[in-house]
Structure 1
Amino acid sequence: MKKISIYLLLINLLIHANLSAQNLVKETQTLGNCSSYKIINNKVIFNCENNAKVLLQFCSGQVVKIWVSADGTFKRLNESFAVVNEDLGWSGNVNVNEETSAYEIFTEQLRIRVNKFPFKLQVFDKYQKLLFNDYNEKGFVKNNSHISSYKTLKSDEQFFGLGEKAGSLNRRGKSYKMWNSDQPCYGVNEDPLYKSIPFFMSSNHYGIFFDNTYKTEFKFGSESNDYYSFEAPAGEMVYYFMYGNDYKQIIQNYIALTGKPIMPPKWALGFSQCRGNYTHEAQAKEIAAEFRKRQIPCDIIYQDIGWVEGLQDFDWKKSNYDNPKQMVKELGDLGFKMVVSQDPVISQVNKKQWKEANSNGYFTTDIRTGKSYDMPWPWGGNCGVVDFTKPEVADWWGNYQQKPLNDGVRGFWTDMGEPAWSNEDATDRLNMKHNLGMHNEIHNVYGLTWDKVVTEQFYKHNPNKRVFQMTRAAYAGLQRYTFGWSGDSGNGNNVLEGWSQFANQIPVGLSAGMGIIPFWTSDISGYCGDIKDYDAMAELYIRWMQFGVFNPLSRAHHEGGNAVEPWVFGPEAENITRAAIQLKYKLIPYIYTYAREAHDTGMPLMRALLLEYPNDTETYQLNGQFLFGRELLVAPVVEKGAITKEVYFPEGEWINYNDKKTVYKGGQWITVDAPLDVIPLFVKKGSIIPTMPVMQYIHEKPSYPVSLEVFPGVANKETSFLLYEDDGESRDYERDIFCKTKFTAVTNQSGFTIKINAREEKGYKPAGQRNYIIKVHTLNKPKEITVNTSKIKKVKTEVLQKTADADFEKISYSWDDITGIIYVKIPDHGEENEIIIN
């Protein structure tokens, strides 16, 4: 009997397994065969089995929207949160060529082939090279609500992007999730993190934006060497294919879809200081005075969340601030801008505002009770989560946030917008309902909807002023509203062991840039960990600062009461960090020019080398260095005790920017010296770098000499730089009110020809009088220099430098034997000048 019972049990299990398998087959849907199509203007709809349809929408000759609808209805719960423009230049109808086994559509750049039996999408370039290919019949797979798309993986294909992700720059062989998560002290391969940007680029000349806000997942060959996939647990299979000759073109196509990055105020590109307990008036004044006394440039002092009386009433905490408006004014007189934090919640302790929001239905609700969702919060007690997807919330929030702005505060950092404590393991949050949908759909865009309200309300209340807003949690398209920082980095267990987390901030930042977060910073020093031994911490702080000054938004920040001002680490650290910060301020004209380029093209200031050298496969693995703009290469030291750095130099010749003399030939790895006080920094031979005098804050002096460092290139090849300038504060740049000046330099047999082109003024010109100081780095003493065919007078270098900001009429030159620099001082009247150096 015992044996019979076992046999019956086994038979029963087999029957159930077979039935389950049959049910799984029924639940799994692919597209099957394609039987017909219909053209509607720039759209082609293909009809497949089981009522499924595939829509191809030609936004341009390079950008194609692919929408697979399992039931053929093409319905979405919400319009795209990221895409703002699908009309990218396509005009007229689409022509479909039908063959026996396939349909073909041609653009100027692409050939799209749709195989009929079964449906299979293929994209070729105009030279018939296959770029993008559905993997067998699995271009679309649906199982219940779960959707997937599998693509053929080429053996040499590499992937980059997905925004701010930890780990190596190259995504090949790895998998990633999109679920905005509060991950303090995150590891070097931890995933997911704070932001969800489901946009990636392939070395095979295309990019994909998977416009699905659920917990999407990307598997770049982690399951097989034959295919990669992107998938979501729910929602629609909508993605955009973007072709590009290089990564830059792909990025330009992406921002054409999702919007241009806004430019920060110019002062935001200076240095800023923060700390977890920066929440006191006396402390802010003391810190500001110390920066000025020690002559360490600084533009921004932050206030963390404890500045408020209650979350989030935007009222100054009475016990901490005696006269906040006067405090902000006094700081402003010293050149400091104050930025304060805000959280997206209202504490139940803050009874007046909580009751107001609750009665108006401004909170997310709990589907189990129908009441406002009760959210535990790291501080301030339990809170209501403000529902920024509800239109009525915008003006209400905007009126509140305007209060500190009316006191002179210059901007916000929007913190905890995941919303915090809503990570993957916090499944109770899935009971939260927003105006536009359930939390599983809205979670990843929650921070974006908040940032949108913050910025649009800022513009409404402060016409024609640029917003400063730096955010932690976001979705694709954030560049239209906000800037970013990388969250709570560092080692919380032992702050002195944070070197690997620090090193990982380089690829995190470069990846953020490729997700169109061009204005970004890491928390200099790392946010996490108690600092108990400042002498021991000094080396890590110095190296982080040497990296951090090349973050477009340079912010030193640490948790709690852990001070991270330069002077607390001792005199050596103070001097080294002062020099690093001063270097950034010298480079502001260069940095600001690239800030405008970021707005126009989406190209980040911190650039992975593959963006400029896409055909150099060595750049695919470069996680420890980057380009700053096009001309400068930065290779921060990220190892404890290291006094050298292995640097890869791409094609061309590269000059040590520190000594302005040592030359390295490109196409090879070289070990360079990097003692503690040296940032490995290099300039490409054949470059012009505009700089300005060191100031204690941006535009401390409204007019100042602009120096042009010329590093002559090879004979007869022109070197150029197009300097961009505007008022730095208004939104006039969006209306193309600015000025540009082009500088060129050519090396010839007799010397150099340098040309200052006439300034192109579009409603703006620099304030006051100023000179250009041309600094030509050469070992050859000049025999004669002419400006516009007239010989100019030679003076001593110290005389020329003394008159650089005083004499706006005389033209002169000098030669420095020790440095090998030719100086030419020439007044800037906005006119064309030609300088010939023999």
Structure 2
Amino acid sequence: MNKIYSLILMFFIFSFSWSQDQLNVIDAITHKNKVVFTCENKSKISLEFLDSKNIKFWFSPNGEFVRNNESFAVINAVFDENYTINVNESSSVYEVFTEDLRVMVHKSPFKIQIFNKYQRLILGDTVEQPYVVDGTDIKTSKVLRQDEHFFGLGEKTGTLDRRGKSYTMWNSDKPCYSEKEDPLYKSIPFFMSSYNYGIFFDNTYKTQFDFGKDSTDSFSFSSPDGPFIYYFFYGKDYKEIIKSYTKLTGKPIMPPKWAFGWAQSRGLLTNETLTRDIAQEYRERNIPCDIIYQDIGWVEGLQNFEWAKEKYKNPKKMLSDLADTGFKVIVSQDPVVSQATTKQWEEADAKGLFATDIRTGESYDMPWPWGGNAGVVDFTNPKTAAWWGDLQQIPINDGVKGFWTDMGEPAWSNEESTDRLNMKHHLGMHDEIHNVYGLTWDKVVTEQFEKHNPNQRVFQMTRAAYSGIQRYAFGWSGDSGNGEDVTDGWANLANQIPLGLSAGLGLIPFWTTDISGYCGEITDYPEFAELYVRWLQFGIFNPLSRAHHEGNNAVEPWLFGKQAEKIAKASIELKYQLQPYLYSYARQSYDTGIPIMRALVLEYPKDENTFNIDDQFMFGEYLLIAPVVEEGAKTRSVYLPKGEWIDYNNPATTYNGGTTIKYPVTLETIPMFVKAGSIIPKSPIVPYTGALKNAPVILEIFPSNNMNSFELYEDDGETNNYKNDEFALTKIEAENAPSILKVDIDVPQQNEFKTEIRNYLLKIHTTSKPKRVEINSNQIKPVSPSKISENLNTNFKESNYFFDEKNQLLMIRLPDTKLRTEITIFN
């Protein structure tokens, strides 16, 4: 009898497993741009065509398309409101043809295949178990091609190419993380394939991604709970895919212009005297700097936004005095209120603004790294926003310019901290809210800032994130570095490059590493100097550049010796010189989502050599940067993609691309290469952004047979008027013939924003002394080297040139008339 029962039980188990593995479609209903397929077990799959290239998939095991919360990431799921589809049915398949895709839905067993219009398979379900349901857990498996590569998932360690690896989405506080550690602080469930598609998995739970680690024939993604919704994006290249993802989840806000300058911080930079001393030292040493941070110790109580009285004698005057010399101050926020901060804690507790403990119904008692046990502020509660906004406005009214939101995972809530799963937020239990907790916080911070400070551009840099974070904040990579031996952090530095590039691919274009690494006690500054310099040389090409270290470990450039200071100063000055170039690409990031720091595969998607390059990147479209990340390096291997490349440090040297070179380096060297034919807009070196009024626009030009153009973007740098397209855009073009070089500066497109009165200074790299130089067909005269740069920001009537034979550089000065101007050089 027991044997019979066992056989019956085995039959039912087999039948249940089979029903999950073998889905069979029995019906399809179409309405406009959506088709819903029903299977024998009543599960349903919805395909909603946003347009001809982008599709929303929703798999529902119980046949109900409902979700606990609306998407935290998606703000625009309607790409083409008039888009409609036709579904063709045959005996075995349903087919949907669009202008770009052919989607086949097989009836028995159910599977989906997406082909392009040339019948090439783009994405296909596996034959076996394309969807597996185990309770609330759902997993989908897709066909993995032998030559397929994956990029994305935001800020993840390791190689840019994700193939052969698996990843977890669970925002985690991982101080001093290794180059192999996962998960980290941010969860961006968006990736792209070398087969010209991208996937965004719109699920906030602890999702998993396996790109062929468990199987060489398939890759998968899964979730333990929540709606199983994912978006498919098809594009001719990665840039087009990113644009579609940006359209779905929102444009990244632009930082204030000064945010692209240099920033100084440290863990115990939390008092007025030290802040003033650092600011004064920067100005006396003529090292450019815009921002000084104050870490969490600036507050009287965690987190009441009141200045610590014993540390700040007169914070308002401090902020005013610093502003007079060009400094902006950013202060830290934590998302909790310590029970020791009695007044604020009792107020929030009484108003129900903390996450609660499901076991007791009381405010959850959260251990916190400092300040004692605390309440976790529930930013999903609509009542929280105004309360928090009033508090954070206190230091803004004093003169603070913005915030960095720290510990928003929330901290001490990693995978092993299972007690946190007892937290209940207004919008759901913690397993659903955990990955978006930082996002909901940053949303409140930005929206409340804009409410209290109308049309003022927000500065907010965050550590924890989820898809959609770009609408509210910028990012930094958390607590990097070697905590055991600060001087042995070379692998940590090297890992910051692919980590930052992957952040950019995940729509976090405005990003920084902690320059010097956050972790480790600095006991021997001369010994640490080389690593500090190399970290800084990489860090200046982060769109945002912040030097930061834990505790009272100071990382100001002058502390590492005269040589290190000299190199650091020159590197920081280079960042300021490149501001017009950088800021123009910042606008492009806002418009398209394309990052400024670009993985080579983003610019050269057909070059398979770029798939495995993790240690160099494009800075914008025209500059290639190959930071030195090896101790004692004498040479640096650099891969140059197809084309002609010019050594930025020695423009007389050129290379043919499609090859790897050995580039000689000293400690002073940042290997930089510029595409031949490029036009790089630059500015004079200034102590801080905006310090020089009527500053000239410097156009550095690298002539070749194939000249590029550049569109110089400018706006007021402070307000949100850029969102209304109030800016100036000036197109600069060049044409190089055997005996003539022409440079055209077009009439600026100016919409409610006017550029300053100023000069242009062209710096053209050429071996030929010109026979004649004309501006709008009028010949101009040569002058001495001192005359060419004399009173550039006050005299707007001179047009002349100077040829520097030693440096093979032709300099041409002319006023910016705001009219179309043609410069002709006869050789």
| Contact 1:374-1:382 within 8 A present in 2 as well | yes
Deviations 1:525-556 (A, max 9, x none): 00000000000000000000000000011000
| Contact 1:68-1:238 within 8 A present in 2 as well | yes
SS of corresponding position for 2:708: strand
| Contact 1:713-1:719 within 8 A present in 2 as well | no
Which residue does the alignment assign to 2:748? 759
Query: Is 1:786 equivalent to 2:777 in the alignment?
Result: no
| Contact 1:31-1:48 within 8 A present in 2 as well | no
Query: Is 1:360 equivalent to 2:382 in the alignment?
Result: no
| Contact 2:51-2:83 within 8 A present in 1 as well | no
Matches of 2:345 and 2:8, distance apart in 1: 55
> Match for 1:408 among 384, 391, 399?
399
| Contact 1:412-1:469 within 8 A present in 2 as well | yes
Letter in 1 for 2:125: D
Query: Is 1:192 equivalent to 2:180 in the alignment?
Result: no
Q: Structure 2: state its 5+ residue gaps.
A: none
What is the CA distance between 1:21 and its match in structure 2?
8.9
| Contact 2:144-2:217 within 8 A present in 1 as well | yes
Query: Is 1:607 equivalent to 2:607 in the alignment?
Result: no
Matches of 1:394 and 1:791, distance apart in 2: 63
Over 3 Å counting, the alpha-carbon distance change for 1:15 and 1:316 in structure 2 is farther
| Contact 2:496-2:513 within 8 A present in 1 as well | yes
Letter in 2 for 1:499: W
Which residue does the alignment assign to 1:772? 760
Over 3 Å counting, the alpha-carbon distance change for 1:800 and 1:152 in structure 2 is same
Query: Is 1:742 equivalent to 2:731 in the alignment?
Result: yes
Which residue does the alignment assign to 1:833? 821
Which residue does the alignment assign to 1:724? 713
Matches of 2:404 and 2:5, distance apart in 1: 59
Matches of 1:78 and 1:482, distance apart in 2: 22
Query: Is 1:632 equivalent to 2:623 in the alignment?
Result: yes
Which residue does the alignment assign to 1:574? 565
Which residue does the alignment assign to 2:427? 436
Which residue does the alignment assign to 2:336? 345
Over 3 Å counting, the alpha-carbon distance change for 1:359 and 1:778 in structure 2 is same
Deviations 1:322-358 (A, max 9, x none): 1101100001001000000000000000010000000
Matches of 1:82 and 1:15, distance apart in 2: 49
What is the CA distance between 1:22 and its match in structure 2?
5.0
> Match for 2:297 among 302, 306, 310?
306
Counterparts in 2 of 1:210-229, with a 5 A limit? 210-229=201-220
Counterparts in 2 of 1:181-330, with a 5 A limit? 181-330=172-321
Q: Structure 1: state its 5+ residue gaps.
A: 1-7
| Contact 1:61-1:90 within 8 A present in 2 as well | no
Matches of 1:134 and 1:522, distance apart in 2: 38
> Match for 1:26 among 16, 20, 34?
16
Which residue does the alignment assign to 1:801? 789
SS of corresponding position for 1:584: helix
Letter in 2 for 1:739: A
SS of corresponding position for 2:382: coil
Matches of 1:491 and 1:98, distance apart in 2: 60
Letter in 1 for 2:405: T
SS of corresponding position for 2:317: helix
Which residue does the alignment assign to 2:440? 449
What is the CA distance between 1:86 and its match in structure 2?
0.9
Over 3 Å counting, the alpha-carbon distance change for 1:784 and 1:204 in structure 2 is same
| Contact 2:385-2:444 within 8 A present in 1 as well | yes
Deviations 1:641-685 (A, max 9, x none): 112110000011111111222111100000101100110111110
Matches of 1:94 and 1:105, distance apart in 2: 7
What is the CA distance between 1:803 and its match in structure 2?
3.8
| Contact 2:676-2:707 within 8 A present in 1 as well | no
Query: Is 1:146 equivalent to 2:134 in the alignment?
Result: no
Query: Is 1:107 equivalent to 2:95 in the alignment?
Result: no
Which residue does the alignment assign to 1:5? none
- Off by >2 Å, runs of 4+ in structure 1: 14-31, 803-807
| Contact 1:120-1:137 within 8 A present in 2 as well | no
| Contact 1:113-1:123 within 8 A present in 2 as well | yes
Query: Cα RMSD between the aligned structures?
Result: 1.4
Which residue does the alignment assign to 2:372? 381
| % identical aligned pairs | 57
Letter in 2 for 1:821: L
Which residue does the alignment assign to 2:800? 812
SS of corresponding position for 1:721: strand
Which residue does the alignment assign to 2:695? 704
Matches of 2:793 and 2:323, distance apart in 1: 25
Over 3 Å counting, the alpha-carbon distance change for 1:281 and 1:745 in structure 2 is same
What is the CA distance between 1:732 and its match in structure 2?
0.2
| Contact 1:342-1:413 within 8 A present in 2 as well | yes
- TM-score when scaled to structure 2? 0.98
Query: Is 1:655 equivalent to 2:643 in the alignment?
Result: no
- TM-score when scaled to structure 1? 0.97
Deviations 1:47-89 (A, max 9, x none): 1121111101111111100001111110111110000001112
Matches of 2:303 and 2:818, distance apart in 1: 50
Letter in 1 for 2:546: R
Which residue does the alignment assign to 2:48? 57
Matches of 1:682 and 1:17, distance apart in 2: 71
| Paired residue total | 825
| Contact 1:470-1:484 within 8 A present in 2 as well | yes
| Contact 1:487-1:522 within 8 A present in 2 as well | yes
